[in-house]
Copies of this chain bind each other. A is one copy, B any other.
């Protein structure tokens, strides 16, 4: 029974992610979710306490993916530039791997209850600190030219986070190839070097 409940819960989350992306959190009712899952609205409450709980579960699930991928890279005992490159590729990978979840994570967290919104922001900050830490390390080792680790990491994460808006899973590049390309753009810029 536990396994069945788990997969039903996972199914509900998948459906809710899709609906939250398409209609927005506020535009999706618990009844919409139950209908899309194919169960009665009442039965949904056996698995989910509230819509806010569901959104909270969804954004934490996404945050888990980001941490899972980035933490081991951050902890590696390797030169900083390859680690930063791996971090960029990993971050793009989490986004391209589930575009709907990335969209909900990026935009719908605003609709969490105030307390959870604060917890969400703290967790996202903690994640961004890892990027900032890598960039600071690169600056200290004089490998990066930037003078400001805060804006430099905002630049890096901005260029990556928007990817969910336009990435096509059946397009020219895989998520991994796109991550590598983004790392190149971020490291070396678009301008041709004279040498």
Residues of A within 8 A of B (CB): 22-28, 81, 106-108, 110-111, 135, 138, 142-146, 151-152, 154-163, 165-166, 173, 178, 181-182, 185-193, 195
Contact = CB atoms under 8 A, between A and B. Distances in A.
A117 B36 CA distance: 24
Contacts of A188: 145, 188-189, 191
A37 to B, nearest CB: 20
Contact of A152 (B110, B162, B190): B190
Given A24-B27, A159-B159, 7 more contacts: A26-B28, A27-B27, A145-B188, A145-B193, A151-B181, A152-B185, A161-B165
Q: State the majority secondary structure of interface residues on A.
A: helix
B160 A158 contact: yes
A151 B185 CA distance: 10
A190 B136 CA distance: 12
A190 B135 contact: yes
15 contacts: A23-B26, A24-B24, A24-B110, A144-B190, A144-B191, A145-B190, A146-B190, A152-B185, A157-B162, A159-B159, A161-B162, A186-B190, A187-B190, A187-B191, A188-B189
A46 to B, nearest CB: 26
Given A145-B191, A190-B135, A190-B186, A162 B158 contact: yes
Contact of A24 (B111, B152, B181, B192): B111
